[in-house]
Structure 1
Amino acid sequence: MAESPETSHVVGGVDTHKDLHVAAVVDQYDRVLGTESFPTTRHGYRLMLIWMRSFGDLQRVGIECSGSYGAGLLRYLQAAGIEVLEVVTAPDKQERRRRGKNDDFDAESAAHAAFTERRTVTPRSRDGMVESLRVLRVCRKTAVQARRIALQMIQTTIVCAPDRLREPLRKMTRMQLIRTLAAWRPDLTAFRQVEEAYRISLKSLARRYLELHDEIADLDEMIEAIVKDLAPELLDRTAIGLNSAAQLLLTAGDNPERLKSEASFAALCGVSPVPASSGKTVRHRLNRGGDRAANSAIHIIAIGRLRLDPRTQAYIAKRTAAGNSKLEAIRSLKRYIAREVFGIIMRRYKEINQTQIAACLLEGRPRFAIHQQAPRTGRG
């Protein structure tokens, strides 16, 4: 048990790893009170929380990698009512060169960051439908990659196959080819013969392709259902497809209220203007930071509207006539799209929140807004 500190308010920091988390605690004067390691299990999380609270009133905890190694700890602490901040950048390089690096130092650095509330952001909660959407999209992405590899292997194998096998396959469409190969019945006992080995290989690759094709179709149905539950209005807007809508929902997260404004969302998506002025020249350039997947989704929407939407075409023509380049005009367009998307997501989030609160009241359960952290009470 830790010794009783002089002060009652403490802040924690955690350096996360696969098997062990290293925790540190600082007091209200940002002095390190102790460091300790805990296993990455629910029992380990409970011991860590007890250990941190033994130093005093735990105000908040800073966690590194809350989206990967620290995801389980994040959910546990949030369920326990602890304010959690994500430490997003590495500590000062000069300080690291001076002190060196180990897990204790990293945990202490996370605690110092949580104490000063610098180099920190409110983490995305990972206990709602957006997290379900993320997991399904990751699964779909790997299935698409595997399907593409299977198709490439089929095409490569056919190129090298004996003429008697290759000739009948030349003029087939992709799916005709795949289904023909999958329907082959090679002699499995003759695998030592070259032609039969090619037949066995091509049939196996074709069956793999079809299985992955069906798996992707099933995942697409689930993803579409979640997107329609979360923000059906997104899919009704011009040039916003299923994949773009899903990515923008992932970027906003289950708790989009952590973003202070639509400008914060635009910066997160990498579409906020970056000043590039000099002298009498006043201009802005593209933002190369932010979530590049979200930036790509917004760019696809912008290009789609530029082709299909008369209002967008008129806007781009107006900006280019005013002296902007086409890229600068598209940058401005992407900023407006981010504003539109954020408004839709926030309106839908409030509707879902109010519906869940009403359901809690009808069932006689406590009235808690979903994914709402306790308000900050100041440092220390």
Structure 2
Amino acid sequence: MIVIGIDPHKSSHTATAIDPATNTDLGSIRIDATVAGYKAMIAWAKAWPERKWALENAEGLGHHLAQWLLVLGEVVLDVPTTATARVRQLSRGGRRKNDRIDAAAAACVAVLQGDARPVDPEGSADVLALLDERRTNLCNSRTRLVNQLHALLRQLLAGGAPTSLTATAASSVLRGFRARSEIDRIRVGLCRDLIADIGRLDDRLTDNGKQMTRALDEHGTSLRGVDGIGPVSAARLIGRTGRASRFATAAAFANYNGTAPVQVASADSNRHRLSRYGDRQLNSALHTIAMVQIRMPASAGRAYYDKKVAEGKSPRAARRSLKRHLSDHVWRIMIADEKRSHRQRAKEPASAA
């Protein structure tokens, strides 16, 4: 099995073929990042019928090429840039860097180091990730517009408008105002423009929520059965996690999302501190779920929180324990959903036959 390492760039890609048995460079090709270039690379690679591809940063600049190769039935591995940098640093020549060296390093890492992971075809989890990113951008835009509207209303009205401001509430506030100067008329006009923009964003957020619900139904997740997890939280958890089975254990997932505590560097201390690493978006989602469950007296999360407080933990430490507990619970649910999805796909050909 020949391994073809690829160093992707925005306008070009460099591929290097490596024989894993002898670690020999068998050849290299540089192509433009176009479909015609992809076809030329496949024609070049036909010299090795048994092959697999190792792309550096397959979720970044190599994303389009990786998905194109998967459609053709090729085996594609994702190699992190940190792993190729480590191979480069330890190899002969020190820290030399060029496209051919990077491509060969990606192949070597995939074969010898075990740092590569298989690339999966895009599916419902990728749809949820796109919808979650879109929702985040819409919410940020809406917050900025609402802040601008608040600033203008403070200049028009004594005390301004209520903190929780909607397009409808702002319109009713302006309805009773009479501008007495040219500058106030300009402010009123700007307020009406901002109200219209906020209304349009609200409509898009509503549509985004409906798309999330449909995508979650297609994904077939059980996460929404957990207290505190609605469509938005479930979409973020799935979209940011991707394939849950890529984490070997619940502890690995907790380390990835930043809920695993870090031991204080002391020989005789059992104290731990909050991890500042990990996916902060996932961490934020788990924090929101934990806070919602704490405020629900009948929830399992509140019972767990009360148990930790009774054991002598501070409220803050109890919340952190609950977040870690929820991380483990969410990982187990996503693993179960993934296994159920695999079983259903396995039955489809038999039922079709």
TM bracket, shorter-chain basis: 0.7 to 0.9
Give the 3 Å change call, closer, same or farther, for CA 199–276 of structure 1 in structure 2.
Answer: closer
Tell me which residue corresponds to 1:211: 200
Q: Give, as a single letter, the amino acid of the residue that structure 2 aligns with 1:114.
A: A
The normalised TM-score by structure 2 is: 0.81
- 1:69 aligned onto 2:64: no
**Contact 1:275/1:284 (<8 A) preserved:** yes
Give the 3 Å change call, closer, same or farther, for CA 95–260 of structure 1 in structure 2.
Answer: closer
Q: Give, as a single letter, the amino acid of the residue that structure 2 aligns with 1:245.
A: A
Q: Could you tell me how far 1:219 is from its partner in structure 2? A: 0.7
1:108 is aligned, of 104, 108, 116, to 104
What CA distance in whole angstroms lies between the structure 2 residues aligned with 1:152 and 1:13?
49
Tell me which residue corresponds to 1:98: 94
Give the 3 Å change call, closer, same or farther, for CA 31–276 of structure 1 in structure 2.
Answer: farther
Deviations 1:136-184 (A, max 9, x none): 2222222222222222233334455xxxxx2499557543454469999
Q: Could you tell me how far 1:250 is from its partner in structure 2? A: 1.4
**Contact 1:134/1:250 (<8 A) preserved:** yes
Tell me the SS of whatever aligns to 2:227. coil
1:37 is aligned, of 27, 30, 52, to 30
Tell me which residue corresponds to 2:124: 129
2:258 is aligned, of 259, 270, 282, to 270
Tell me which residue corresponds to 2:44: 51
Q: Could you tell me how far 1:286 is from its partner in structure 2? A: 3.5
Tell me which residue corresponds to 2:347: 358
Tell me which residue corresponds to 1:89: 81
Give the 3 Å change call, closer, same or farther, for CA 351–98 of structure 1 in structure 2.
Answer: closer
Give the 3 Å change call, closer, same or farther, for CA 24–178 of structure 1 in structure 2.
Answer: farther
Q: Give, as a single letter, the amino acid of the residue that structure 2 aligns with 1:217.
A: T
What CA distance in whole angstroms lies between the structure 1 residues aligned with 2:270 and 2:3?
44
Tell me which residue corresponds to 2:135: 140
What CA distance in whole angstroms lies between the structure 1 residues aligned with 2:227 and 2:275?
24
What CA distance in whole angstroms lies between the structure 2 residues aligned with 1:169 and 1:274?
46
Tell me the SS of whatever aligns to 1:26. strand
Give the 3 Å change call, closer, same or farther, for CA 14–325 of structure 1 in structure 2.
Answer: farther
**Contact 1:87/1:113 (<8 A) preserved:** yes
Q: Could you tell me how far 1:95 is from its partner in structure 2? A: 5.1
Give the 3 Å change call, closer, same or farther, for CA 159–168 of structure 1 in structure 2.
Answer: closer
Tell me the SS of whatever aligns to 2:9. coil
**Contact 1:270/1:287 (<8 A) preserved:** yes
Tell which has more relative contact order, 1 or 2 (C-alpha 8 A, sep 6+): 1
Matches within 5 A, 1:142-181: 142-159=137-154, 166-167=156-157, 170=160, 174-179=166-171
- 1:227 aligned onto 2:216: yes
How many residue pairs match? The answer is 340
- 1:239 aligned onto 2:232: no
Q: Could you tell me how far 1:212 is from its partner in structure 2? A: 1.2
What CA distance in whole angstroms lies between the structure 1 residues aligned with 2:143 and 2:154?
17
Deviations 1:183-223 (A, max 9, x none): 99xxxxxxxx7565445433332222211111111111111
Q: Give, as a single letter, the amino acid of the residue that structure 1 aligns with 2:319.
A: I
Tell me which residue corresponds to 2:179: none
1:12 is aligned, of 4, 16, 29, to 4
Give the 3 Å change call, closer, same or farther, for CA 112–150 of structure 1 in structure 2.
Answer: same
Q: Give, as a single letter, the amino acid of the residue that structure 2 aligns with 1:24.
A: T
**Contact 2:2/2:17 (<8 A) preserved:** yes
Bigger mean CA offset, 280-289 vs 110-119: 280-289
The normalised TM-score by structure 1 is: 0.76
Indicate the percent of aligned positions where both proteins have the same amino acid. Answer: 26
Tell me which residue corresponds to 2:244: 256
Deviations 1:43-66 (A, max 9, x none): 3333223323425631x3221222
Q: Give, as a single letter, the amino acid of the residue that structure 2 aligns with 1:40.
A: A
What CA distance in whole angstroms lies between the structure 2 residues aligned with 1:50 and 1:68?
24
Bigger mean CA offset, 198-207 vs 62-71: 198-207
Give the 3 Å change call, closer, same or farther, for CA 292–174 of structure 1 in structure 2.
Answer: closer
Tell me which residue corresponds to 2:19: 27
Matches within 5 A, 1:223-372: 223-253=212-242, 255-276=243-264, 278-309=266-297, 311-320=300-309, 322=311, 324-364=313-353
What CA distance in whole angstroms lies between the structure 2 residues aligned with 1:25 and 1:207?
57
Root-mean-square deviation over aligned CA pairs: 3.3
Q: Could you tell me how far 1:318 is from its partner in structure 2? A: 4.1
